[in-house]
Structure 1
Amino acid sequence: MKDPHSTRDIGPRVGTPLWLYMVSAVVAGTGVLVVSGLDLGLDQISGLVGEPLVWVLLCMIILGELRPVAVRGQAMDGGSPTSLPFTLAIVIYYGLPVAALLQAVAAVVAGFARGHAAHRNAFNAAQYTLSLGVADAVLRLLQPILARLEVLPTGGELAVVALAGVAYLVVNRILVMCAVAMHERVPLQQVLFKDLTQQLHINAVLVSLAPLVVVAMTYSVLYVPLFAFPLSALHASALMLVRRDHQANHDELTGLANRTLMTVRAQEEISHARQRGGRVGLLLLDLDRFKEVNDTLGHATGDRLLETAAGRLVHSVRPGDLVARLGGDEFAVLLPQVRDTDAAAEVAARLRGALGEPVRLNGVDLDLEASIGIALYPDDATEFEPLMQRADVAMYVAKAGRTGVESYDPGKDRNSTARLSLFSELRRGLAEGALEMHYQPKIRLSDGRPIGLEALARWRHPTRGLLAPGDFMPIVEESHLSRAFTSQVLDATLARTAQWRADGFRLPVSVNLGVRELLDPALPATVAAALREHGVPSAQLVLEIGEHALIVDTEAATAAVHRLRDLGVGLALDDFGTGHFTLAQLAGLPLDEVKIHESFTAHLTGGSDQGHTVVRAAITLVRALGMRATAEGVQTAALAEAARETGCHAAQGHHFSRPLPSGEVREWLAAHDGGAVADTTT
């Protein structure tokens, strides 16, 4: 199977070292094939063409080329071809001309069957010919009798056969790895010794079979195809292990490397760069407005869009660069060797240009755009995790400023080392589903019955345990993680709401929105899609909008609130009294509820008379506007009673209930007569 993300079928530019090397190899291989063929007379050639054994061997070599034995870390169509025993046997039995010709034909046939480019097929045929030429030279030099036609090696000659096999393998590996090193632009020693131990074990088995193939050839042509069974079993067992390794290290949807493989490769490249000098680049890329496309056109279209983006990214990077999908619409590109920031920016610009080409899916033309952040080793960080954090900061700057591409600038980084570490851990936590939802009941003050639940996210940190929102929400609200965070909270909350609804508990559940979430153009589509997916009526979802979110950009926020109202969801103003939001502004918003912050509510039982009067007046105006007033942070019975007397419709706080883990909510509701429907009284 051809790897859709391989760049080895892209021909080298004329005049480059790789082009010169491949041309030289093809010329040399062709020369060896022609010169060796002169040893064959016309009678011999005619006899070989009419010999069934030759055709059987050709088929076995082609089959062996198509069924290599791969090792961990290799592509599933890579590895040591199981054609080696037959090719080496032909060198022993028939000589170099026949072996080289059959192997060259098989390499070209198998290459075209896999969809490989012509230059790659020509080089493979040439390097096989040169490797076989060296093996034949060893046989001629150490045991001339083995260079004759149709000779059966004896026990004493097996050592010479083994040396010929070793010579073949050494030359073959050097020829191939030189091309790989030049293609990927890495030092030869970096690829020459990679997976060498595993390759030696496999190739030792394949070489040891060559004398047995010769023995089978001398007895009957029918014996030769029997080798297909053990070799196919070897291929299948190795392929099973490679597939398992591939699945663990690659994204299932796009086939790209995943976060695990990206981390390993990046650490390897940083280690190489530390030893030899030079720079390693890391690009983090986030697709703009992908969530909007996904929610509007469906997940299937979104998946196809991601596959398209992955293909474009792979074919826009340099040979040797690694493209990975980190999750969702976030990708990373590792640049193992990069000259400087400008060179990395050139790659980033090429990526944006490739993504910017229109995509037509389901009859709709879509435009892809991306924000890309760049960080370099050792300029910006000397370890992988800090390097990833710096690239993420740069990407956030690019997204916030809509500049497309940004390199890491310490002057624009407001994060401390601890904050960056927490940010990286949170991003990983979101990808791994580390959020846990708790729900705090909202109580109607007139009769003490629960009339709603507020969803509150907790983060199960791997070392610090369960973290409250105050420990991580500032990071969410100031980064590009806000969209993924809101999406996960909505999904988890509505999934749980649907379960409670099926159990007969139909209270509305509220979810908090920050500035970035409210002003996200994709939010209405995200909410609508989540409601549809979980089968929850829109009236059973309440979106709580922080007071600060309405102050930052009042005009845009007001428009966003009206768009959300069109969905039919409930809307509440949260944390009223903490900022500079005026009661006059409140009148222009289609809100159902105003939640009064606990610092404001506290004036009802303590503080100055003036404070008490202000709170009472605010609650009166809220009610006059047809909205419900809810007191937050109610810790005592006295405060609950004061809130009721002042006109608050409902209250929340530890006096009634702490935030409950999702698994405890159903039991709590059952014990408190919580099977209510949406409460609309003021």
Structure 2
Amino acid sequence: MPRPRRPALFRLLLSLDRLPLFVLGAGLLLSLAVAWLAVAGVAEGERRYFREAVDRTTAAIVERVESTFDALYAARGLFYASAAISRAEFQRYADAIGLGQRYRGIRSMGFAVREERRGRWAPGAVRTPGPCDAPAAPARADGRERFAVIFIEPFAAGLPSLGNDPRDQVPCAEAMDRARDTGQPAATERIAFADDGGTAPGFMLFLPLYESGRPLRTVEERRAALLGFVFATVLPGDLHRAIEWREGLPTIDIDFRLYDGPVVEESRLLLGDEAGRRLLADSPPRYRETTQIQLAGRTWTLAFASLPSFQDPIDRHLPWVLLVVGAVVSVTAYRVMLVRGWHAAERRRHTTALEYQATHDSLTQLVNRDALHARLEELMREQPGRRLALLLIDLDGFKEINDTLGHQAGDQLLRQIGPRLQALLSPDHLLARLGGDEFALLVCPVADRAQAVDWAGRVLAEIQRPFGLAELTVQIDASVGIALSPDHGRDPTTLLRRADVAMYVAKKSHEGHAVYDPDQDVYSPRQLAILSDFATAMTRDQLVLHFQPKLRLRDRRTIGVEALVRWHHPVDGLIMPADFCPKVERSTLVRPLTHWVAEHAAAQCRAWRAEGLGLDVAFNISARNLLDSALPDDIAEVLERYRVPAANIEVEITESALITDPGRARETLMRLHALGVRIAIDDFGTGYSSLAYLKRLPVSSLKIDASFVRDMAHDDNDAILVRSTINLAHNLGLQVVAEGVESVEVLELLEQADCDLVQGTLLCAPLPGGELRRWLAGHGHARAVFEPVGG
């Protein structure tokens, strides 16, 4: 007999009776699930936090040690910048850079030089030995060089003393040899320094000093050029107190230790906390990690361990709380959701930060080269006919700021460039830092070339305003190269390269800015063809010298000529030097061209002397010639072969050629001067040198640039500049030649200013040797040869 169906109301009541069991079971299952998720989430968070702390601490150690390198490089710059540095000056320098505050970790810094060079410094550089000074050490029995500490700031017990030789300590000797051979900073192994009645572990850094102008390409050359070292004593304990690596991290506690070498040994410990050691002895760490860094030729090991306080007590007991207290399941679930959401937000922020770093410069926060390239590509793809301008900006004089004030001052200046220029821009424009002291400005849209040039002027005006660096005010200039699209390129790579070419032209011409010109692009197909043809021009007698007379004003006699090269191209006809010399000077053809000019100038000088004419012959040499150590020997060989007195030959160099490598340039000029060859400064007034600087060179005359001479009859500023230059040059015993004389008015003004020599088209345009001889016969006379001319 079937059971009767229960009423619906009864069934409802029965289901309600089972509901608490269902809720309890569901709550327990949910609590177990949430507890499991909480355990996994806490462990994941702890591992991530621990990894983050390891990474930040390692980066902070590397950054702080590298900052000590900056201090060494800045001190080396001071050493090279001054011919004589006294102890007092070095002490003021150490105070000025904040050795004890800005460069925490450096306990002392100083110079050590070869013992035999110790007495050659300026007065006051070495004082009478005092309590901290060591006497001059005897020569080593093994014959190796000795060094003596000549400066050290500050004085401290247990650190190197004046007069001591750091090489007496084996760790220092190894690091000094490594620094000498590599030219890079080198660290010693662990050294125990005396400190407050005890000892403190640390190390020393050495940076080599080489004699200026010496070649440093090989180890042997660096050893031969070694003058001494800049050194610093570094105590990692001071370094650690300056790092404050816990700042910005969650409330965690991690012990870390720094060891010298690739293994963890207590005898190699550089930095460690005794309190942390005791805590770890009582409670083994939950997380450990070791990592190694390579700095200054040494391997350092960092060991990290989590302390007992690393784990949050609430997180440790949370799973049990969730299991016991079912009533807070919803609250716990909500907390887990918050934790998971926080982790997701952290990942998103991390991803966003990585994307930002990939497209922005870390120093200036401007977009980088890749981002600029991508923006150019996007604009050219979406709007191929739209006109835009790319301005490549290179700072002039930035290297001098870095070398004189240090890289921190240079970085401070670079960070000020962006805000200045951004104030000029609209949202459609893009400012980027390409690297070093090079920036780029994308102007889109741009109406025409004139508007792009106007933008270059605005940029230059902003950069030329003074910059405040710490307690100093400095002023720099810039060179701007302009390339327009689609005129100069329809893809980002081409446009960037051509803007770079224009920037190089602007820098060389000192005009501030330049628009890309294919004729000035040494890498354009036409220019490459010119260089290819020029390689055979000298061997096929396509080159010829023309000569322009130099007139002496006091007696109106022609006493010399300037030799100017011309190229008789078989297809293009007569090519002037302005169309091929700049390209040749940037290629390997500059040396054979200079030798050809010297040889043919000497041959013509010899021919004139045989005819009884004592004309001096001058010719130009380039910046690359000044860096060629073989140039004096080549000219000496030409003079001997043609039996021409060296006094009849004059070489002309531009001011800008002297600043490429002043040391090597001076050495080359001194060797030419020793031969008897006279030296003149060409295009004076367009470069960077001063008369006082030129006085230190073996210069006999200077040529005032034609751009000042040509308009002096109509421009009072040019006239004043020319007269002032003549007076100053005469006071320094230099002869003055005025170029570009094209009018009688200018000639009379130069005569009134007591100018020595003049040349220009008013007198005579450049002529071949034979035509010049006929011109002399009809328009002027040259001085006679005073000594007999040999056969």
Task: Give the TM-score normalised by the residue count of structure 2.
Answer: 0.33
Task: Give the TM-score normalised by the residue count of structure 1.
Answer: 0.38
Structure with greater helix percent: 1
Structure with greater strand percent: 2
Larger RCO, structure (CA 8 Å, separation 6 or more): 1
